C-alpha cells in the first residue's frame, strides 16, 4: 500500500521495529485497556500493519492490519477462520484481504476524519492488488448481547450474507441473533449501537454472519463481515476513490 495524506492524517505501512512497537502498544491500550501492554498474536508476522498518524505531530491515531489472500482456497488460514466455519467462502474466486485489529486511540474516537483516512488507505490497497473481497470481524464492545438488540435485529432484517457465502457456527459461545430475534429494530438506536467500521461496511453494501461470537479474550462480541468489491454501488465507489 502506497503512503497517502488525507487531511491532517498520514496513512502508511509500518516499516520498522519502532513502528511495530507503536502499533502493538496502541492495540494493547484499545483492546486490553492497558497503556503498557502489547497486543500481538501469531498472525502479525503475515500481515501488513497500517498506521494512521497525525501528519504534524507524528502521533499514532489509528491502526489496523491487512492479511492478503490469493482467494477462497486460503481463507482457512485467516484469523476469522478460528471463530467461523468459512467453508462456504472457499469457493470464492479472486484476491481477498482480511482487515483486523482496527482501533482508534480512545482520545480520538469522535473524529470522523480518521475513519475516512482508513477507508482511503484500504481503497488504495484494494485497487492496487485487485482485491475482490474485503472481510474481517467487526467487534461490539463487551460480551453482553442485550445492549445491542436493535443493532442485531437490523443486521438480521437487512444485512445477512448471501446464503452461498454465509459462514457457519464454529465457536463454542455464540449469539444466534438471526434465529432468536423477531423484534422490529429501531434504526436510529441500531446504528448508534454499531461500531463505526461496521456502519461503513454496511453503507457500502457489506453483509454479516447470522450469529455473533463471544470473544472472552478481547472482551467483545463480533460478527463476520464481508464486502464484495464488485457489489459496491458505483456512486459509493466513486466517492471512495475521490478521497484517495
| 244 residues of the chain, pLDDT tens digit each | 888 998 999 999 999 999 999 999 999 999 998 878 899 999 999 999 999 999 999 999 999 999 999 999 999 999 999 999 999 999 999 999 999 999 999 999 889 999 999 999 999 999 999 999 999 999 999 999 999 999 999 999 999 999 999 999 999 999 999 999 988 999 999 999 999 999 999 999 999 999 999 999 999 999 999 999 999 988 888 777 766 6
Cell (9 digits) for 89:
467462502
Domain that holds residue 118: 4-242
Q: What are phi and psi of 243, to 5 degrees?
A: -85, -15
Using alpha carbons only, give the angle 58, 103, 108 rounded to the nearest 5 degrees. 60
User: How much is the pLDDT for 244?
Assistant: 66
CB of 193 closer than 8 Å to CB of 147: yes
Strand, helix or coil for residue 225: strand
Strand, helix or coil for residue 226: strand
- Count of structural domains, the chain: 1
3-state secondary structure 104-154: ECHHHCCCHHHHHHHHHHHHHHHHHHCCCEEEEEEEEECCCHHHHHHHHHH
Cα 177 to Cα 185: distance, rounded to the nearest angstrom:
12
Q: Do strands 60-69 and 48-54 pair parallel, antiparallel, or not at all (unpaired)? A: antiparallel
Q: pLDDT tens across 18-76, in order?
A: 999 999 999 999 999 887 889 999 999 999 999 999 999 999 999 999 999 999 999 99
CATH number, domain containing residue 221: 3.40.630.30
CB of 228 closer than 8 Å to CB of 202: no
Cα 102 to Cα 100: distance, rounded to the nearest angstrom:
5
Cell (9 digits) for 184:
422490529
Amino acid at each position: 500500500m502506497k503512503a497517502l495524506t488525507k487531511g491532517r492524517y498520514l496513512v502508511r505501512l509500518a516499516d520498522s521495529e519502532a513502528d511495530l512497537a507503536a502499533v502493538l502498544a496502541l492495540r494493547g491500550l484499545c483492546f486490553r485497556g492497558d497503556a503498557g501492554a502489547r497486543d500481538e498474536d501469531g498472525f502479525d508476522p503475515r500481515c501488513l500493519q497500517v498506521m494512521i498518524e497525525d501528519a504534524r505531530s507524528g502521533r499514532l491515531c489509528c491502526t489496523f492490519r491487512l492479511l492478503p489472500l490469493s482467494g477462497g482456497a486460503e481463507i482457512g488460514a485467516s484469523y476469522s477462520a478460528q471463530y467461523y466455519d468459512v467453508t462456504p467462502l472457499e469457493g470464492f474466486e479472486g484476491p481477498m484481504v482480511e482487515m483486523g485489529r482496527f482501533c482508534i486511540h480512545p482520545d480520538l474516537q469522535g473524529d470522523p476524519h480518521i475513519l475516512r483516512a482508513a477507508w482511503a488507505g484500504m481503497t488504495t490497497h484494494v485497487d492496487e492488488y485487485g482485491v475482490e473481497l474485503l472481510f474481517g470481524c467487526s467487534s461490539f464492545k463487551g460480551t453482553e448481547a442485550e445492549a445491542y438488540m436493535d443493532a442485531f435485529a437490523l443486521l438480521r432484517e437487512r444485512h445477512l450474507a448471501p446464503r452461498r457465502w454465509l459462514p457457519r457456527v464454529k465457536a463454542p459461545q455464540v449469539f444466534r441473533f438471526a434465529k432468536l430475534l423477531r423484534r422490529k429494530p429501531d434504526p436510529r438506536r441500531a446504528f448508534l449501537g454499531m461500531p463505526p467500521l461496521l456502519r461503513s461496511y454496511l453503507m457500502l453494501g457489506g453483509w454479516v454472519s447470522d450469529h455473533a461470537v463471544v470473544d472472552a479474550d478481547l472482551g467483545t462480541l463480533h460478527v463476520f463481515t464481508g464486502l464484495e468489491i464488485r457489489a459496491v454501488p458505483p456512486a459509493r465507489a466513486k466517492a471512495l476513490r475521490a478521497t484517495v
